Copies of this chain bind each other. A is one copy, B any other.
Amino acid sequence: MGNSKGADGAADHRPAVGRVAVVGTGLIGTSIALALRARGVEVLLSDPDAASVRLACDLGAGRVLDESAQTRPVDIAVIAAPPAVIPAVLRGAQDRGLAHVYTDVASVKASVLAEAERLGCDMATFVPGHPMGGREKHGPGAARADLFLGRSWALCPTGKAGAETVAAVAELARLCGADPLVLEAEAHDRAVALVSHAPHVASSAVAARLLSGDDTALTLAGQGVRDVTRVAGGDPAMWTEILTHNAVPVADVLHGMAADLAATADALHALARARDGAGDEVLEPVRDLLARGRSGQERLPGKHGGVKLPDYAVLPVVIPDEPGVLGRMFAVAADAGVNIEDVRIEHTPGLPLGVAQLYVLPAAVDPLARALSDDGWSVHAGA
């Protein structure tokens, strides 16, 4: 059970996941519900906030869970509540016999597990889970059926749940388009501290500095600082709770980052003080951090959590800012038999022109450039 294989079971013996209850219709719960509905699963929804359930239902995520009318347990109940209340919600659902199997979606696992044990939850039917998808937005209105597509979905069974039980939750993850990955709760928490929680705090630390700049300084901001600080736009209250539940692993990573930043700052100050007199070795901590940073960045798997996408070539095309222009451009591509895999449009405020970046397979660049040029488009090949 040390890797994702353990959750697979035999390929010809997949557990049936026909009816699922989603308890908590926020972003994650509603996204799971939408994904399951798209695969034909019957989904029952509940949330302490009645408006949230109504919105989720209206979005096609399922229908309201009416426990008084339930005659038999659902296959799986997904507890999609904040980490602090998951153990109590789980215990209540188990006491009522809501489901055969239970899972949750908390982004921290060890503290939730410990509290669930303390509350006397039945650990034989509970498989803690954490789907690795999210957005800065929250609530059912931000939910998307494809939120977990190609993402990892961590499962942290305690050993008290049988293989069939774990396999059922793995199948639920797979129905949402995710790759189930079995690991220990403590290993999970250290991993997410490293790849999610501590990077979030670092993003906040960069963004917090921006408060000290004047408007002119901020006008010089480019795409780099926007990317670095994007996640800092997340909800402070929600993130405070997440960090609280994973305090030590996050703190350990943050101490390492703080030490690296302080050492770099000290080296730069030393360089400035000793200018002319300073030997090259003063800069060693700076060089070292930048080199380690590049090596670390290269360790990240491909864009979609482990799924390596083909390398697309990019063809920039100048486009006028008017209705129908993209349709005409794509029609030329279709006539040339070229599939456009992705497109990014660069806005050009104040200018009547924009640039569309067309992503295509490398072999399709030349035919597409020729077809568009012949049709009178301003194509910027070679970029």
A residues engaging B (CB < 8 A)? 3, 34, 55, 58-60, 132-134, 141-146, 149-152, 154, 177, 181, 183, 187-188, 190-192, 194-196, 198-213, 216-222, 224-234, 236-237, 239-240, 243-244, 247-248, 250-262, 264-266, 268-269, 271-272, 283, 286-287, 289-301, 303-307, 309, 316, 321-324, 326-327, 329-331, 333-334, 337-351, 355, 380, 382-383
In the complex with contacts A195-B213, A261-B258, A294-B207 CB distance below 8 A: yes
Q: Which of B59, B262, B287, B327 contacts A258 (CB 8 A)?
A: B262
A202 to B378, CA, bound (A): 39
8 tightest CB-CB pairs across the interface, nearest first? A204-B293, A324-B334, A327-B330, A191-B217, A210-B296, A236-B290, A207-B296, A208-B292
In the complex with contacts A293-B205, A324-B331, A210-B195 CB distance below 8 A: yes
Task: Tell me whether A196 and B217 are in contact (CB under 8 A).
Answer: no
Task: Tell me whether B208 and A289 are in contact (CB under 8 A).
Answer: yes
Residues of chain B within 8 A (CB-CB) of A231 are 224, 227-228
Task: Tell me whether A296 and B348 are in contact (CB under 8 A).
Answer: no
Shortest A18–chain B CB gap in Å is: 21
Task: Tell me whether B323 and A334 are in contact (CB under 8 A).
Answer: yes
Number of copies of this chain that the complex holds: 2
Q: Which of B211, B232, B271, B296 contacts A232 (CB 8 A)?
A: B296
A219 to B306, CA, bound (A): 5
Task: Tell me whether A144 and B316 are in contact (CB under 8 A).
Answer: yes
Shortest A35–chain B CB gap in Å is: 11
- Chain B CB within 10 A, most for which of A269, A322, A344: A269
Task: Tell me whether A209 and B253 are in contact (CB under 8 A).
Answer: yes
In the complex with contacts A201-B264, A229-B300, A342-B345, A210-B181 CB distance below 8 A: no
What are 29 of the A-B contact pairs (CB < 8 Å)? Answer: A134-B224, A144-B355, A149-B351, A150-B351, A152-B219, A177-B351, A194-B217, A195-B213, A195-B217, A196-B225, A199-B224, A204-B290, A204-B292, A205-B261, A207-B294, A208-B257, A209-B296, A219-B306, A227-B228, A232-B293, A236-B293, A239-B290, A248-B269, A251-B265, A252-B265, A254-B261, A307-B349, A326-B330, A342-B345
Task: Tell me whether B251 and A218 are in contact (CB under 8 A).
Answer: no
Residues of chain B within 8 A (CB-CB) of A133 are 222
Q: Which of B226, B236, B256, B383 contacts A141 (CB 8 A)?
A: B383
Shortest A66–chain B CB gap in Å is: 24
Task: Tell me whether A207 and B297 are in contact (CB under 8 A).
Answer: yes
Task: Tell me whether A382 and B141 are in contact (CB under 8 A).
Answer: yes
Task: Tell me whether B307 and A350 are in contact (CB under 8 A).
Answer: yes
Shortest A161–chain B CB gap in Å is: 20
A181 to B330, CA, bound (A): 37
Shortest A266–chain B CB gap in Å is: 8
A256 to B202, CA, bound (A): 12
Residues of chain B within 8 A (CB-CB) of A271 are 244, 247
Q: Which of B190, B221, B334, B338 contacts A217 (CB 8 A)?
A: B190
A337 to B327, CA, bound (A): 12
A337 to B198, CA, bound (A): 46
In the complex with contacts A294-B207, A297-B210, A323-B334, A258-B258 CB distance below 8 A: yes
Using A207-B296, A244-B286, A251-B265 as known contacts, list a sample of 10 further A-B pairs with CB atoms less than 8 Å apart, ordered by residue number in A. Answer: A187-B216, A205-B260, A211-B299, A228-B231, A229-B297, A248-B272, A254-B268, A255-B262, A261-B261, A327-B333
